[in-house]
Structure 1
Amino acid sequence: MFLIDDLERLMEIIKHAAKEGAMLVFTLADPSMAESAKKACKMWDIQSTDILSPITETIASHLGVSPSGLPRGAPGRASHLNEEYFRRIEAIEFTIKQDDGALPQNLHKADIILAGVSRTGKTPLSTYLAHNGYGVANIPIVLGVALPKTLFEVDPEKVFGLTINPVVLHTIRRTRAKNLGFSDGVRSNYSEMDYVREELEYASKLFAQHPVWPVIDVTGRAIEETAAVILRLYHDRKKKCSIPRISKRYEKCKTCKFFSSIMLK
């Protein structure tokens, strides 16, 4: 049993349930989160039961009031079923479908594309951005595995590279392997330090070949912090402010008058 108060945590649990072939029983007071959970379970073919919504909706219908206790349309009550609500639901649905490199033919439809090696936080970051109304696709960079051609055919200003300190990544992957029940004897290269360094180097070379992609170091960064950097760059690019890459140099952008190095480590 888990207590959930944010969407990215909810999606992580649902994704884990899909991998384990588990059934999901949930009760969520937030209607948008409940709807997101239903859509995610449908996308990942997870058997699920929403305990709270049927009861809440029946009581609300019988009493003629919203679940908050205020009559629908009452002053000060914002409707959940507005344009922004549906835009968020559509973004979440799209993002779930595009998780972990799925459906690369749809990359051109994404608002934002995240590329990075495993365990750089692509899925929770994608989910967080989707909850804010952005359709996000994430592409795993795996040593020896060809990336989808469509990644190099879309608008490069949509693409953001994610990197991380190798020591931190090594620790995360070893913990992940342990949680999955892998013993030291059967542990794959995935969690070995040499492989981690080699894969990060491979990703670094890829990013260098595409200098328009900003490269963001997520080491020690909260999802919200990384998302804020991505959205700032995304919207400034929409305003035709050209920022080729985040680096340790503070270079002031004359068009939008802010420092392109917001600095990540």
Structure 2
Amino acid sequence: MTQEKKMVIFVISDSLGETGNNLAEAATVQFPNVKFEYHRFPLTKTTSLLAGILEKAKRLDAFVVHTLVGKGLASYVNSYCNENHLCVLDGMSNIITTIEEKTGETPLYQSGRNHNLNQSYFNRIEALEFAVTYDDGKDPAGFEKADIVLLGVSRTSKTPLSLYLANKNFRVANLPLVPKAGIPKEIWQVDPQKIFGLTNDPTILNNIRRERMITYGLNPDTNYSSIQNIEKELAFAADLYKKIGCLIINVSNKSIEETATLIMESLPK
């Protein structure tokens, strides 16, 4: 029997550590046969704190990923790792140095500047509140106010996609499509380039809906989850999308991030 391969990763940051964590995760998903153990150390702003963390990393033979911006902290970690034969990835210093050399500008060396409470932050909060207010077609008035309108039958990721896009500062409203329900007149007042019709593979949708029913402790074999009903719903949606003239996106086998990127790239400039 093959022994499972393991790897310990330390993610160290003098801010929240999201950049380093995302960087590490983007790489580790390429190795499905390795079990990765993450240790995150955010808001690490002194060498005394770093010393203890690095000693632990040495004991566990960890791979150290850091996005330290504070002067001296990055070089401290890099030197320690090199002297103690630890693998290290400096995710920030080289980029900052290159920009400094290219522009001639002196960096601020302030950690967490991308999390400052600037106007973009408040716009994002407003967008999140908008997405919640106009989720599931609660108020048709939101369609004309929205930057993006998502249409789709049940379980085509409308709500999580709305919240993800809201985090990108887009005001998003979504409408669940039910063949026997009417379509709000406001939909026809929206620029079709801002409307996106979500669809899915009937078999995948069937599995998703069955699992949802099971989660609620209900019978999975209902009209809601039947292939015949799903195909009718998808046909109704496809016909509506054609009438509107909006972009259609099949979300089957796509992550929320992939679908969101398609939408953002397709918006009128």
Q: CA deviation at 1:75?
A: 4.8
How many Å separate the matches in 2 of 1:108 and 1:210? Answer: 15
Alignment of 1:1-265 (within 5 A): 75-77=109-111, 78=113, 80-183=116-219, 188-211=222-245, 213-234=246-267, 237-238=268-269
Amino acid paired to 1:161: G
Number of residues of Structure 1 aligned to a counterpart in Structure 2: 164
Cα deviations by residue, 1:68-110 (Å, 9 ceiling, x for unpaired): xx9xxx8514152101100110100101111111111121110
% identical equivalent positions: 43
Contact 2:188 2:244 in 1 (8 A): no
How many Å separate the matches in 1 of 2:163 and 2:141? Answer: 20
Change (3 A) 1:188 1:143: farther
Secondary structure in 1 matching 2:155? coil
Cα deviations by residue, 1:167-197 (Å, 9 ceiling, x for unpaired): 100110111111112125xx54111111011
Please list every run of 5 or more consecutive structure 1 residues that lacks an aligned counterpart in the other structure: 1-28, 31-69, 239-265
More strand by share: 2
Amino acid paired to 1:189: N
Cα deviations by residue, 1:142-187 (Å, 9 ceiling, x for unpaired): 1201111101112221100000000100110111111112125xx5
Secondary structure in 1 matching 2:261? helix
How many Å separate the matches in 2 of 1:87 and 1:133? Answer: 6
Amino acid paired to 1:210: I
How many Å separate the matches in 1 of 2:224 and 2:252? Answer: 18
Give TM-score, length-normalised by structure 2.
0.58
Cα deviations by residue, 1:99-138 (Å, 9 ceiling, x for unpaired): 1111111211100000000000001111100011101001
Secondary structure in 1 matching 2:198? strand
Aligned position for 1:40: none
How many Å separate the matches in 1 of 2:262 and 2:219? Answer: 38
Aligned position for 2:55: none
How many Å separate the matches in 2 of 1:116 and 1:183? Answer: 24
Structure whose alpha-carbon radius of gyration is higher: 2
Contact 2:156 2:251 in 1 (8 A): yes
After TM superposition, which residue ranges in structure 1, 4 or more long, deviate above 3 angstroms? none
Give TM-score, length-normalised by structure 1.
0.59
Q: Which has the higher mean CA deviation after the structures are superposed, 198-207 or 78-87?
A: 78-87
